[in-house]
Amino acid sequence: MQSPPVELHVVSDATGETAARLVLALEAQFPEQEFVEIRHPRVESEEDLHLAVNRMKGRPAVVVYTLVKPELREAMRTLCRRAKLHYCDLLGHPIDAVARVSGMTAKMTPGSRPPLNSAYFKRIEAIEFAVRFDDGVGSGLHEADIVLVGVSRTSKTPLSIYLGYLGHKAANVPVVKGIEPPMELFEVDARKIVGLTIDPNRLAEIRRARVRTMGGGARSRHYAELAEIYEELEQAETLHRRLGCPVIDISELSIEETAHQILRLVAERHREPART
């Protein structure tokens, strides 16, 4: 008999995005368990906390909260204990620990954002770069930190955007049946090139969903046929061998997992001497 869904209540004095990221990590550790995420954003008073906790009483609930003001954190602890709810204070202990170690007093301002420093502008520039040089457009391969090479629907674009969010300029080159890749691809530093591949059946499934969404005709259906996919993947494999690049199979990986594998591979290859 399947267990009932566990309610993950995210309580925050801002948007709740910080706690929501933790909730996603929690869910990943229990793949057989069904979850329901419920957000309680912009909590500003003890009355708001009472309303939130009342929604959880007697239910299979876990409370994850990010509250900056000490009085609200204390009120939340008290309410959770009274309601016999399992809870996790994400900000309270870290704030207290940093204050003790640094000797500084926290601002205690809900919804505070980090300053717009050089790292922030580097991320914005990298995201704009990914958009500008998406899908082989332009000639940004020499300027890129990372170059992704793979057939259509191997997550090249979302990976490039996510890598940009992490501060790395990523360009991507599509492998298209019967079309030679740009010569620039063979002229750049091979250590920054990473190939992407995918299980043929998984790719066919993704492409069929894409065709249904786009309402394509016969030509689009051909794009999702296994015979076509095998030929494209074989062409990509041949190109990856010519480039001498590592290849990541993205079939069962999330964007985040794939991105971190890419960064690890590129960092390892940059510790090797460049090939001429």
Q: Where are the domains of the chain?
A: 6-102, 118-270
Which has more confidence, 116 or 133?
133
Beta-bridge mates of residue 230: none
What pLDDT is stored for residue 272 in this prediction?
79
What pLDDT is stored for residue 120 in this prediction?
79
Q: Does the pLDDT at position 276 exceed 60?
A: no
Contact 40, 12 (CB under 8 A): yes
- CA–CA separation, 274 and 251 (whole Å): 30
What pLDDT is stored for residue 19 in this prediction?
85
pLDDT tens-digit series, residues 169-191: 999 999 999 899 999 999 999 99
pLDDT tens-digit series, residues 41-52: 999 999 999 999
Q: Does the pLDDT at position 18 exceed 90?
A: no
Measured in degrees and rounded to the nearest 5, phi and psi for residue 111 equal 75, 15
Closest CA to 21 of 34, 10, 32: 10
Q: Does the pLDDT at position 110 exceed 80?
A: no
Closest CA to 139 of 177, 182, 174, 193: 182
pLDDT tens-digit series, residues 212-271: 877 665 566 678 899 999 999 999 999 999 999 999 999 999 899 999 999 999 999 988
For the chain, state the CA radius of gyration: 24
Assigned superfamily of 6-102: Response regulator (3.40.50.2300)
CB neighbours of residue 9 within 10 Å: 24
pLDDT tens-digit series, residues 83-99: 999 999 998 888 888 88
- CA–CA separation, 14 and 113 (whole Å): 11
pLDDT tens-digit series, residues 197-214: 999 999 999 998 888 877
Contact 158, 253 (CB under 8 A): no
H helices within 133-275, ranges in order?
156-165, 200-214, 218-223, 226-243, 255-270
Q: Does the pLDDT at position 146 exceed 90?
A: yes
Q: Could you say which architecture CATH assigns to the domain 118-270?
A: 3-Layer(aba) Sandwich (3.40)
Domains 6-102 and 118-270 equal at CATH topology level = yes
Determine the Cα angle at 271 with ends 267 and 274, to 5°: 105
Question: For 273, which DSSP code?
Answer: P
